[in-house]
């Protein structure tokens, strides 16, 4: 009797997703320690540019369902929260519902950081406090989101009993 193997599962994360993820993580980390100056601005703008291929991939180009953009339904979020409370979570090919929204929030914060950073350097807002204050607040929010992201990945690895970092490192 011949057993047909199940078809191979496509990797959750495409090469574009993996490269942009780690490049954005590097930019955010570097700018966390390099709080101002020409390098801070250059790295911040580079971070915005790095997001462009990821956005194109998510909207139009991706062949991987996990890499495509979608808004999880409220029922999916409720189910995921119930599973978290029970300590037994379903496996997701890609982000879980809360993770998907967290990604969008981090990208929005990065975009707003770019805008407020740019505004603070324009002639019209030079010396005005609010763009710098909003930029600092957004930076702190992004730092909180990054810490939550790392902790959530560690928690999901533990609850699911699998390495969720490895698929972000290679296509295997």
pTM check: above 0.85? yes
Q: Please state, for a pLDDT cut of 70, what percent of the chain lies above it.
A: 94
Q: How many domains does the chain have?
A: 1
Q: Is residue 155 part of a domain?
A: yes
Q: Is residue 75 part of a domain?
A: yes
CB atoms within 10 A of CB 86: 9
| Residue spans of alpha helices (H) in the chain | 15-33, 38-56, 74-86, 97-119, 129-160, 166-169
Enumerate long-range contacts of 27-32, CB under 8 Å, 24 or more apart: 28/110, 28/142, 28/146, 32/139, 32/143
Q: Is residue 41 part of a domain?
A: yes
pLDDT digits (tens, 9 = 90+) for 52-101: 999 888 888 777 778 888 899 999 999 999 999 998 898 888 899 999 99
Q: Is residue 7 part of a domain?
A: no
Instruction: Give the tokens for residue 57.
Output: 């991939």
Residue-number span of the structural domain to which 165 is assigned: 15-169
Q: Is residue 26 part of a domain?
A: yes
Indicate which CATH number applies to the domain containing 90.
1.20.950.20
pLDDT digits (tens, 9 = 90+) for 129-161: 999 999 999 999 999 999 999 999 999 999 988
Q: Is the model's pLDDT at 166 over the cut of 80?
A: yes
Q: Is residue 108 part of a domain?
A: yes
pLDDT digits (tens, 9 = 90+) for 48-59: 999 999 988 888
């Amino acid at each position: 009797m011949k057993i047909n193997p199940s078809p191979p599962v496509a990797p959750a994360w495409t090469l574009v997703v993996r490269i942009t993820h780690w490049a954005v993580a590097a930019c955010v980390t570097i700018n966390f320690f390099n709080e101002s100056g020409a390098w801070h601005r250059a790295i911040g703008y580079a971070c915005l540019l790095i997001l462009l291929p990821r956005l194109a991939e998510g909207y139009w180009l991706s062949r991987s369902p996990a890499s495509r953009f979608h808004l999880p339904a409220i029922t999916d979020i409720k189910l995921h929260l119930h599973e978290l409370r029970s300590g037994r979570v379903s496996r997701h090919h890609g982000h879980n519902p809360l993770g998907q929204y967290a990604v969008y929030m981090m990208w929005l914060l990065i975009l707003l950081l770019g805008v407020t950073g740019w505004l603070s350097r324009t002639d019209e807002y030079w010396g005005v406090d609010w763009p710098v204050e909003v930029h600092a607040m957004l930076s702190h929010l992004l730092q909180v989101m990054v810490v939550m992201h790392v902790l959530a990945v560690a928690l999901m690895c533990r609850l699911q009993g699998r390495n969720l970092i490895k698929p972000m490192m290679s296509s295997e």
